[in-house]
Amino acid sequence: MSHKIALNFEDGVTRFIDANVGETVADAAYRQGINVPLDCRDGACGACKCFAEAGQYDLGEEYVEDALSEEEAEQGYVLTCQMRAESDCVVRVPASSDVCKTQQASYEAAISAVRQLSDSTIALSIKGESLSKLAFLPGQYVNLKVPGSEQSRAYSFSTLQKDGEVSFLIRNVPGGLMSSFLTGLAKAGDSMTLAGPLGSFYLREIKRPLLLLAGGTGLAPFTAMLEKIAEQGSAHPLHLIYGVTNDFDLVEMDRLEALAARIPNFTYSACVASPDSSYPLKGYVTQHIAPKHLNDGDVDVYLCGPPPMVEAVSGYIREQGLQPANFYYEKFAASA
């Protein structure tokens, strides 16, 4: 039996390792070729101090106060030379992947489906034997290489990995390199290369209500997160507000409805900014955040959208005089 440990490095690279029962995280990392910061191995120097963001673990008993204080341990800090996982864990490493002698993994796959969901959105699915080994945290992204070029584009997973297949929601940018390929040339069986996973925007352990705010194709990481929540359940209420510019930008509504049926305490709403919209809810996401969604600040807010949306939401929350327990966000902008 082993537990899967996600090591998140400060440059955004995530690598997954397997830790055997009773094996320290540091030993497991070294066994798999990743040199996490380490010096004494005895819990005396503090060189391997990291932050455990999720999971159950044994801190060990051989470290000294100077290496890890009681207050730090209560906050979630660990010494990887002493930490032994008791479940799957997420560990934030205060060093770059390069310093730790590792790098983002690369995978080869093939297009299994390309669907034009609307004038503005493309759904891309890719599948391959190598992807059956791909692990990522719901909300993270990869760099997809554009076939026929040396350039890559970053896209968040919109699904979990299942049977070696993953999917993405891609904004259809007129003249965009990836958009032009997907709308004009792509066909099932075409090879694609992806590198990752990457990013610090991912689903953390759910300890309180969640407010999820998506703008356009920023919906992608949330559908992956919600798939994970549907699998593991949640004792806390979750609410998603999905905002787009035009009516035709609204996609995956049937999927959101299906997820709401699977997750008893999940609700969602969508709104369209265009004044010409025929959709019932109009305006921006900030106009549809109710006080109950902010729960007097006892809420974790997740936001994925274009920079103006991120700035608008940040300003709105400040205006309410509230400080969320946690505020995680991902900005994205289209590439020409």
**Per-residue confidence (pLDDT) for residue 333, from 0 to 100:** 64
* CATH 3.10.20.30 is the classification of domain 2-93: yes
**Are the C-beta atoms of 147 and 140 separated by less than 8 Å?**
no
Q: Which fold has domain 105-198?
A: Elongation Factor Tu (Ef-tu); domain 3 (2.40.30)
- Residues ≥6 apart with Cβ < 8 Å to 273: 243, 244, 245, 246, 282, 283, 284
**Per-residue confidence (pLDDT) for residue 259, from 0 to 100:** 97
- Over residues 220-237, the pLDDT tens digits come to 999 999 999 999 999 999
Q: Which residues of the chain have pLDDT under 70?
A: 333-336
Sequence ranges of the chain with CATH classification 2.40.30.10: 105-198
Query: How does 308-335 read in b/e, with b if 16+ C-beta sit within 10 Å?
Result: ebbebbeebbeeeebebeeebbbbbebe
**Per-residue confidence (pLDDT) for residue 46, from 0 to 100:** 86
- Over residues 130-139, the pLDDT tens digits come to 999 899 999 9
Q: Which amino acid is at 224?
A: A
Sequence ranges of the chain with CATH classification 3.40.50.80: 210-331
Residue 190: HSE in the Cβ half-sphere, 13 Å Cα cutoff:
17
**Per-residue confidence (pLDDT) for residue 335, from 0 to 100:** 55
**Long-range CB contact pairs, 222-225, < 8 A, 24+:** 222/139, 222/302, 222/304, 223/158, 223/159, 223/169, 223/252, 223/255, 223/256, 223/259, 224/138, 224/139, 224/156, 224/157, 224/158, 224/159, 224/160, 225/138, 225/139, 225/302
What are the φ and ψ backbone dihedral angles of 125, each rounded to 5 degrees?
A: -120, 140
CATH architecture for the domain at 210-331: 3-Layer(aba) Sandwich (3.40)
Sheet of strand 105-116: strand arrangement: 152-156, 141-145, 191-198, 105-116, 121-127, 165-171
